[in-house]
Amino acid sequence: MTSTDRARVERRRAAAVPARSRSIEVDGHQFTVHSLKSTSPSPDAPTYLLVHGIGASHRYYRRVQRSLAAIGHTHSLDLPGFGGTRRPVRPLAVEEYGALLGRLLDRLEVPRAVLVGHSMGAQFVTEVARQRPDAVSHLVLIGPVTDPRRSTAVRQALGLTRDVAKESPSGNLIVFRDYLECGPRWFSTELVPMLGYRTDLALGEVHSPILVIRGTNDPVSGSTWCASLAAAAPDGHVFEVAGHRHLVHHSAAVQTAAIIEGHALRLPAVAHPAQ
């Protein structure tokens, strides 16, 4: 059996195992964590934390989570106010989400993880890496926002509309369901901190190896913007997946997982001091 065949077998095994779901409270905020243990026999299997964007949930990560479970332990989240979790009583800033995610890793007893964030989730994981460098071995930003040249609600809505028009039906079905569950009030509440957060400036304080992934046809997260994010980081790289859009982690899940895996195998460029 070739290594490629073995990888396919492991991915099929991972897909057959249901995720364990549990609700975890962190400082009065509800998270739902959907976990898959690695099917890999390696004792050094990495742990991946998958963080969704505004209005979304863990559902659009299901495919890539199953692929990553062949090589590492995975935790995919529903953040407070999203995916059916209890809504916070007030708006939360990106920095607050970052602090909560750091404490969630402590609750999960994960000392060090590969953090993967999509869209606004890329802002959240950037904050974790900035605030808790000891807890983040590698950072992956998929379709990150918000380009300061396009940081208005109208510009973002236009980009999303263009994206939805050509996304896969299965991806749109997941996203529409999640947006309805989130509701326009909480979505618009969290849109304000998303538009104001400067991901590019925050990445200058992150020393974990950073990988930016985008679909070449993504109208939300442009190529120039993604290149600038990689350049802003001390150790940043960009990978574009041809023919895919903003939901590249769903529409090209196996390929995206393989790209993330390759990034996670890179050794951290800087040893992080304990905080």
pLDDT in tens, 134-148: 999 999 999 999 888
Stretch 89-104: mean pLDDT: 96
**Short-list 50, 37, 44, CA closest to 10:** 37
What pLDDT score was predicted for residue 270? Answer: 46
Where are the alpha helices (H) located in the chain, listed in sequence order? 3-16, 62-68, 94-107, 120-131, 153-164, 169-182, 184-196, 199-202, 223-232, 248-251, 253-264
Band of residue 184 on the pLDDT scale cut at 50, 70, 90: confident
Choose the weakest-confidence range: 22-31, 53-62, 247-256, 261-270: 261-270
The residue type found at 138 is: H
Band of residue 153 on the pLDDT scale cut at 50, 70, 90: low
What pLDDT score was predicted for residue 150? Answer: 72
Residue that has been written with the tokens 């299901």 in this structure? 62
| Threshold 0.85, pTM exceeds | yes
Stretch 83-100: mean pLDDT: 95
Band of residue 39 on the pLDDT scale cut at 50, 70, 90: confident
Task: Give the Cα-Cα-Cα angle 177, 122, 169 (nearest 5 degrees).
Answer: 30
Pairing outcome for strands 29-36 and 73-78: antiparallel
Cβ count near 45 (within 10 Å): 16
| Beta-ladder partners of 20 | 35
Stretch 179-195: mean pLDDT: 89
Task: Return mean pLDDT, the chain.
Answer: 88
What pLDDT score was predicted for residue 156? Answer: 67
